[in-house]
């Protein structure tokens, strides 16, 4: 019996947490076979557009190595993350994200999703915003558009932000923990989160927001892991209701808009979180 699922059906099953195994396609089989024998160090550093981070090279798993299609055609897939992220200015950071091939998510993406906000006040500078909203990772719509939260969850987010006088094009910046779409909308893997983490960290350094709204489990874990012991073990409900800290910036934890679309009664709690964030901001002013 063959189970012939198209990409949308696989994604739907993944969304419902129903694992399905199907035989690999010929292309997938080739990737697996090459990944099993290719040494990680075979990635040619010289082909990297920016200087490689040596730690990142050794951290790449075997499957991250270059993919050899034939004797005369070598298609390197993954490269080390750019160095110097922590000193980049905004345009350099944007370019680094756009060209990033440090984890396997680069292979399936249409676009990287850096974030969206008002225009920068001058060339080289980051947008000036008090609010930073952080989600998890781009979905299918975001991957195609190159912009975060453009689907149904994004409409809800925009409506909620509008209710407190915020707008993605004038006074709030929206970003994700992960800049590339995980296939089938699966959860990001720890290695993908780790590879992307310096980008969000530098975005926050440059934006200097006065308040961060962390939406959903991944954003909360990523932003609070250094300040809340065993944050990943705490239910989100326990992290709501009081401001936390990320490198000196207050963080309010709240539900992810996609969760709210499925759990309408919790919208009232998300509204309370937004009001808390507003209060924290006003108190600091």
Contacts of 184 (CB under 8 A, 6+ apart): 7, 10, 11, 14, 15
**Toward ligand URA, which CB reaches closer, 85 or 153?**
153
Going residue by residue from 93 to 112, which x/- string records binding to ligand URA, judged by CB under 6 A? --------------------
Based on the shown chain and the rule CB under 6 A, indicate whether residue 223 belongs to the binding site for ligand URA: no
Q: Using alpha carbons, select from 61, 64, 97 the residue that is nearest to residue 79.
A: 64
Total site size for ligand URA, rule CB under 6 A:
11
Based on the shown chain and the rule CB under 6 A, indicate whether residue 153 belongs to the binding site for ligand URA: yes
Based on the shown chain and the rule CB under 6 A, indicate whether residue 222 belongs to the binding site for ligand URA: no
Contacts of 109 (CB under 8 A, 6+ apart): 143, 180, 181
CB of 125 to ligand URA, least distance (A): 24
Q: Give CA–CA dist 266/236, Å, rounded.
A: 12
Based on the shown chain and the rule CB under 6 A, indicate whether residue 158 belongs to the binding site for ligand URA: no
Residue 170, phi then psi, degrees to nearest 5? -130, -40
Q: What is the DSSP-derived secondary structure letter of residue 108? A: T
Instruction: Sort residue 124 into left (φ over 0), alpha (ψ -120 to 50) or beta.
Output: left
Going residue by residue from 160 to 199, which x/- string records binding to ligand URA, judged by CB under 6 A? ----------------x-----------------------
Using the rule CB under 6 A, give the single segment among 47-55, 83-91, 148-156, 190-198 that binds ligand URA. Answer: 148-156
Residue whose Cβ sits closest to ligand URA: 135
CB of 129 to ligand URA, least distance (A): 17
CB of 73 to ligand URA, least distance (A): 35
Q: Using alpha carbons, select from 105, 235, 228 the residue that is nearest to residue 176.
A: 105
Based on the shown chain and the rule CB under 6 A, indicate whether residue 142 belongs to the binding site for ligand URA: yes
**Toward ligand URA, which CB reaches closer, 82 or 138?**
138
Q: How far is CA 278 from CA 102, 120, 136, 166, 231, in A?
A: 36, 23, 22, 11, 23
Based on the shown chain and the rule CB under 6 A, indicate whether residue 138 belongs to the binding site for ligand URA: yes
Report 107-136 residues binding ligand URA (CB under 6 A).
Answer: 135-136
Contacts of 202 (CB under 8 A, 6+ apart): 85, 86, 88, 93
- Residue ranges in contact with ligand URA by CB under 6 A: 135-139, 142, 148-149, 153, 176, 258
């Amino acid at each position: 019996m063959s189970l012939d699922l198209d990409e949308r059906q696989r994604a739907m099953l993944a969304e419902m947490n129903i694992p399905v195994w199907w035989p690999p396609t010929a292309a997938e089989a080739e990737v697996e076979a090459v990944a099993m024998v290719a040494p990680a160090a075979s990635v040619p550093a010289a082909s990297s557009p920016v200087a490689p981070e040596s730690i990142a090279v050794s951290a790449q798993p075997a499957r991250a190595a270059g993919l050899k299609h034939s004797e005369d055609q070598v298609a390197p897939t993954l490269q080390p993350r750019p160095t110097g992220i922590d000193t980049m200015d905004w345009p350099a950071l944007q370019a680094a994200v756009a060209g990033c091939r440090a984890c396997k998510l680069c292979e399936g993406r249409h676009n990287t999703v850096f974030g969206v906000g008002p225009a920068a006040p001058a060339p080289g500078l980051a947008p000036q915003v008090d609010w930073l909203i952080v989600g998890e990772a781009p979905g299918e719509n975001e991957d195609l558009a190159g912009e975060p939260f453009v689907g149904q969850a994004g409409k809800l987010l925009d409506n909620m932000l509008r209710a407190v006088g915020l707008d993605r094009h004038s006074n709030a910046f929206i970003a994700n923990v992960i800049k590339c779409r995980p296939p089938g909308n699966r959860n990001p893997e720890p290695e993908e989160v780790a590879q992307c983490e310096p980008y969000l960290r530098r975005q926050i350094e440059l934006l200097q927001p006065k308040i961060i709204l962390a939406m959903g489990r991944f954003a909360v874990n990523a932003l609070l892991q250094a300040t809340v012991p065993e944050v990943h073990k705490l239910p989100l409900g326990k992290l709501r209701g009081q401001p936390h800290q990320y490198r000196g910036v207050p963080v309010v934890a709240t539900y992810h808009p996609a969760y709210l679309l499925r759990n309408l009664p919790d919208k009232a709690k998300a509204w309370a979180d937004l009001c808390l964030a507003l209060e924290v901001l006003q108190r600091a002013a």
